[in-house]
Amino acid sequence: MQLSGIRVVEIGQAFAGPFASEILAHLGADVIKIERPGSGDEARRWGPPFWGEDAAVFHAINSNKRSVALDLKDPTDVATCRSLIADADVLVHNLRPGALNRLGLGPDTLASEFPRLIYAEISAYGPKGPLKDLPGYEILGQAFGGVMSITGEADRAPVRCGPSVCDFGSGMWLAIGVLAAIQERHRTGKGGLVQTSLFETALAWTAVAASSYLASGNEPGRNGASHHLISPYGYFETETGPLMLACASDALFRKLAEVLDRPDWPDDDRFRDNPARVRNKALIEGMVGDLLKRKPQEYWFDVLGKAGVPCAPVNTISEALDHAQTEALGMVQAAPDNPEIRGLGLPLSFNGKRPEQHTGAPPVGSSEASWS
């Protein structure tokens, strides 16, 4: 495994911190999750549905870990936690800002004691600025970072993006930062501080809308399933169900026109290139939509795909999970110690092999407070 021999202590709650350490665990790191005695991580109760005693969402991001129950209000347990950190390569946490500092486990203190330690933390708003001490959750990151303002239909209220893009994105960024810090430590022999936040992640995900605003001064709006920079691009009804169409170039538009038996479109000044089509977006997408309604979704997915025009049906979660493509990729994995518990594997392969799940999510305090 890529990270075999790397030890990680996670003091995490909810999604962001635990997801970061799960990425590292799937890559082979030995991860000890520090939890409150009894109740453990708050996400254990985020259900129904449940698998056994714990919520399904907890199982989704806590596999391949060990759990040690420590009361961080107890000085003896704090000392035990410190001893685990002393022998670790990485500390991952997403507790409220300042919480670990008050326990003597802040980055400056631990850096002086354990100079090879990589201290990796996720906060709500970042380590600097007037909001640095505020707590936060996914929906607040989406709201404050602008994601919600560009999600939803133009004539309706902003909505939360379905996936927890700020939590999981922050976990991903932190894991990337940890991997870079491990490489840097190989060169210098020293650890360091890796930081990200839900707010910074939200801002990063708005890069396309942000660049449009910075260039034009115009406030980006909500476009539903469409795109304000490309046409035809978005949601179209067919005879039997919705289809997403993505003509992101003039060459793809010409192919679409051929399939729809409208070879005249590319020579029409209103549709000659993408800027022209964006200016006449309602017109061209209405014309495309009228033609797509005449035949079934399955037909268009087949003929457009064969013509090289990117498109896809709008699948439900069950349809996506049950699809033969998902099965071929081996994305759905079962916990070897409890095959009834299934989840998604890491969306990453090495030499054609996806990292495996070795254990399911651990019960609270199921491991000894040691690395043995």
As annotated, the active-site residues are 227
Strand 118-123 versus strand 90-93 pairing type: parallel
Contact status, residue 285 vs residue 231, Cβ threshold 8 Å = yes
Of 297, 295, 254, which Cα lies nearest the Cα of 277?
Answer: 254
* 3-class DSSP string for 66-107: EEEECCCCCHHHHHHHHHHHHCCCEEEECCCCCHHHHCCCCH
Q: Closest Cα to residue 72, out of 11, 129, 158, 119?
A: 11
**Neighbour count for residue 268 (Cβ, 10 Å):** 14
Residue 219 is given by DSSP the state P
User: Cα dist. 361→96, 337, 364 in Å?
Assistant: 23, 10, 9
The set of residues, in sequence order, having a beta carbon less than 8 Å from that of 286 and lying 6+ positions away, is none
Instruction: Compute the distance between CA of residue 355 and CA of residue 231 in angstroms, rounded to an integer.
Output: 38
Rounded to 10 degrees, what is the CA torsion of 38, 41, 121, 87?
Answer: 50
As given in the structure block, the two tokens for residue 115 are 């100079």
